[in-house]
């Protein structure tokens, strides 16, 4: 998104690496992620009650799909199991992200594994 080898981003990554190595947030937290979450909540006038972080864009799409599916299930609308996607869209290489990708080069090899989305 911001370009490869961006000096400012690389410097921030190197500084953070000296403070905290990569840590999965499944049942774990740390001060920087708490501070970021609080800042994000403040930006939304505290309408944002929870933050969910992903390691990359495809994982973020995967999480969003799962959260949508789960929200409908929690509301008792278990029949809501379909997704739509934009024609020609690309969302990543995870199974869920590929399911809402409309680029045959990426999805055809995995077609039998994927839930079909409406274009």
Decide if 107 contacts 119 (C-beta within 8 A): no
Residues in the chain: 119
Burial class (CB in 10 A: 0-12, 13-18, 19+), 62: buried
Decide if 67 contacts 54 (C-beta within 8 A): no
- Kindly provide the b/e burial profile for residues 5-17, where b requires at least 16 CB atoms within 10 angstroms of the residue's own CB: eeeeeeeeeeeee
Q: What is the pTM of this model?
A: 0.71
For residue 17 the two structure tokens come to 């690496």
Give pLDDT tens digits along the chain (119 positions): 667 888 998 998 888 888 877 777 877 888 888 999 999 999 999 998 888 888 888 999 999 999 999 999 999 999 999 999 999 999 999 999 999 999 999 989 998 999 888 98
Half-sphere exposure of 4 (CA within 13 A, CB side): 0
Cα(119)–Cα(106) distance, integer angstroms? 16
């Amino acid at each position: 998104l911001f370009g490869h080898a961006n000096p400012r981003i690389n410097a921030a990554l190197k500084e953070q690496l000296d403070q905290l190595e990569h840590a999965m947030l499944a049942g774990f937290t740390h001060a920087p992620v708490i501070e970021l979450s609080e800042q994000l909540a403040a930006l939304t006038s505290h309408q944002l009650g929870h933050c969910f972080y992903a390691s990359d864009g495809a994982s973020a799409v995967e999480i969003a799909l799962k959260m949508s599916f789960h929200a409908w299930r929690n509301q008792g609308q278990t029949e809501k199991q379909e997704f739509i996607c934009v024609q020609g869209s690309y969302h990543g290489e995870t199974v869920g992200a590929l399911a809402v990708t409309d680029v045959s080069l990426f999805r055809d090899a995995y077609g039998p594994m994927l839930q079909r989305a409406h274009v």
